[in-house]
């Protein structure tokens, strides 16, 4: 909800520019990664996912990049719009067959008009 983003790192981007949000994950055996968007007062919403046998995946206006060497995940949003303002966080599946994800704490994206 509204208070979730109070202590988060914030990325401020001009409307129309591209945004890059980063995530360092913890487990080198993780095989599946997801980006979620959470708007104020709402539950997290799936944006895009990527499996460990890929290093890039594109969706509509979004691209996820996976660098397994340094355990780094990034979300790129093209032509950022005011509706993209939200908290974004990544999740990793530590290994195939497990039920539980490990979630990052998130980054708040603010789009400036």
Which residues of this protein are in contact with other proteins, per CB under 8 A? 1, 3-8, 31-32, 34, 36, 41-46, 49, 89, 91, 93, 96-97, 99-101, 103-106
Pairwise CA distance, residues 95 & 107, whole Å: 24
CB of 96 to other proteins, least distance (A): 6
Cβ proximity to other proteins: between 78 and 102 the closer is: 102
Give the residue with the Cβ less far from other proteins, 44 or 80: 44
Instruction: For residues 95 and 76, give the distance between their C-alpha atoms in angstroms, rounded to a whole number.
Output: 25
State the minimum distance, in angstroms, from the CB of residue 61 to other proteins. Answer: 18
Which are the contacts of 25, defined by CB distance < 8 A and separation ≥ 6? 33, 71, 72, 73, 90, 92, 102, 104
Smallest separation, CB 93 to other proteins (Å): 7
Backbone angles phi, psi at 85, to 5 degrees: -60, 120
Closer by beta carbon to other proteins, 78 or else 103 = 103
CB of 59 to other proteins, least distance (A): 12
Closest CA to 8 of 94, 77, 100, 110: 110
Q: How far apart are the C-alpha atoms of 47 and 69, rounded to whole Å?
A: 24
């Amino acid at each position: 909800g509204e208070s979730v983003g109070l202590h988060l790192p914030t990325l401020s981007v001009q409307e129309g520019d591209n945004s890059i949000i980063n995530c360092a994950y913890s487990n080198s055996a993780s095989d599946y990664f997801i980006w979620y968007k959470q708007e104020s007062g709402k539950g997290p919403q799936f944006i895009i996912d990527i499996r460990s046998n890929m290093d890039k995946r594109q969706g509509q206006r979004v691209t996820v990049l996976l660098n397994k060497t340094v355990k780094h995940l990034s979300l790129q949003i093209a032509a950022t719009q005011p509706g993209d303002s939200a908290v974004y966080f990544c999740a990793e599946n530590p290994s195939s067959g497990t039920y539980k994800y490990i979630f990052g704490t998130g980054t708040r994206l603010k789009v400036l008009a």
